[in-house]
């Protein structure tokens, strides 16, 4: 099964992460990286791995980048990864043993969120469909991110992916500010009946940051992860607060 899979990775200034991600993919015959103008050492690091093929595309949306990436791949299956995803050995072994029936078009995987290389006991990061038949997949934008639509049955794998972003906090904060512009537009333009429960709560503005703080710290138990837990709780609460402020601004100014 592994020989039928091409990993697909989007990059833009991912030097702190990309090497560790690629080191976990020695089994891949080819790895396709879609880069949107990196100015750090991302491409130098990537090209040090002989199986990597870099293609370039100016960034417009995440879905646009991913769909372009799919067009560059000829294998039957694609493993879609962010530049800070580390594939576990258990997941590799599980995928290697797969014999997918014809009606299975994809597999979803759960994540372990890491701070400084150490996994947290819990996260708000949901499972994602990361392994799928290339011809059965198409991406669409959703808020600040993107979602893959799979034409067929999706099953769940037991192995995990580690989410381990080592970029500095200033970079994270700048990205969140940009993301929340798109996220607020998505929440305001989508009818409430079409939003999941968590997004309906976010439209209440004041409630979401408080709930995220309490839920991650106590219900998820991150208070027991020490300073790493507090950092994650603070980041998620701050992200929700930035979104709430964007929604308040839109309400006051009558804009999206």
Residues 247/188, Cβ–Cβ less than 8 Å: yes
Backbone angles phi, psi at 131, to 5 degrees: -115, 125
Long-range contacts, stretch 229-238, CB < 8 angstroms, 24+ apart: 229/120, 229/121, 231/115, 232/113, 232/115, 232/120, 232/123, 235/172, 236/124, 236/212, 237/209, 237/212, 237/213, 238/173, 238/176
- 3-state secondary structure (DSSP) of residue 142: strand
- Reported as a single tens digit per residue, the pLDDT across 103-148 is 999 999 999 999 999 999 999 999 999 999 999 999 998 877 789 9
Rounded to the nearest 5 degrees, what angle is found at the Cα of 240, between the Cα atoms of 35 and 198?
95
- Reported as a single tens digit per residue, the pLDDT across 209-221 is 999 999 999 999 9
* pLDDT band with cut points at 50, 70 and 90 for residue 255: confident
Quote the pLDDT of residue 146.
Answer: 87
């Amino acid at each position: 099964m592994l020989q039928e899979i091409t990993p697909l990775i989007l990059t833009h200034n991912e030097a702190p992460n990309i090497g560790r991600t690629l080191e976990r993919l020695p089994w891949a015959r080819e790895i396709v990286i879609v880069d949107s103008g990196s100015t750090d050492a991302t491409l130098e690091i990537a090209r040090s791995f002989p199986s990597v093929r870099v293609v370039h595309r100016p960034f417009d949306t995440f879905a646009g980048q991913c769909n372009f990436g799919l067009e560059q791949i000829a294998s039957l299956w694609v493993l879609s990864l962010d530049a800070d995803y580390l594939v576990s050995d258990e997941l590799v072994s599980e995928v290697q043993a797969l014999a997918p029936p014809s009606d299975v078009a994809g597999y979803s995987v759960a994540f372990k969120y890491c701070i400084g290389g150490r996994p947290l006991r819990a996260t708000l990061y949901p499972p994602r469909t990361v392994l799928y038949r290339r011809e059965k997949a198409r991406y669409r934008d959703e808020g600040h991110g993107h979602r893959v639509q799979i034409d067929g049955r999706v099953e769940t794998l037991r192995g995990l992916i580690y989410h381990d972003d080592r970029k500095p906090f200033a970079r994270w904060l700048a990205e969140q500010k940009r993301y929340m512009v798109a996220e607020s537009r998505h929440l305001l333009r989508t009818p409430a009946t079409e939003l999941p429960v968590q997004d309906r709560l976010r439209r209440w503005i004041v409630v979401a940051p408080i709930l995220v703080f309490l839920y991650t710290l106590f219900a998820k138990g991150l208070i027991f992860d020490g300073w790493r837990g507090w950092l994650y709780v603070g980041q998620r609460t701050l992200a929700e607060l930035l979104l709430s402020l964007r929604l308040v601004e839109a309400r006051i100014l009558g804009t999206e």
